[in-house]
Amino acid sequence: MNGLAGKEVHIDDQFLHVDLIDGRRISTPISWYPELQQASLNELKRYVFICDDTGIEWTSLDYHLSIENMMQFQKVQDVA
């Protein structure tokens, strides 16, 4: 199984947190995802993992997010 496979998603007022199966947690500012930031709590709770758990989908929002891209985007932001 891929080390970037997700296990659980948590969203608070500032961050999108994704717990990975290997024990790591990726946290990125929720403001990076305007569609998610504007969604209701009920919509945010209705996610599913896709693509062997390496992506997250919010079907009701028609929004998809790759865990790998989250990590790459985080690195770019850290360098800037």
Under CATH, which number does the domain 6-79 receive?
A: 3.30.2020.40
- Can you tell me the distance from the alpha carbon of 72 to that of 54, in angstroms, rounded to the nearest whole number? 14
Contacts 24+ apart (CB under 8 A), 10-13: 11/36, 11/44
**pLDDT of the chain, 80 residues: tens digit per residue:** 567 899 999 999 999 999 999 999 999 999 999 999 999 999 999 999 999 999 999 999 999 999 998 887 655 555 55
Q: For 11, phi and psi rounded to 5 degrees?
A: -130, 130
Please give the pLDDT value at position 42: 95
Per-domain boundaries in the chain? 6-79
Please give the pLDDT value at position 71: 81
- Can you tell me the distance from the alpha carbon of 23 to that of 61, in angstroms, rounded to the nearest whole number? 28
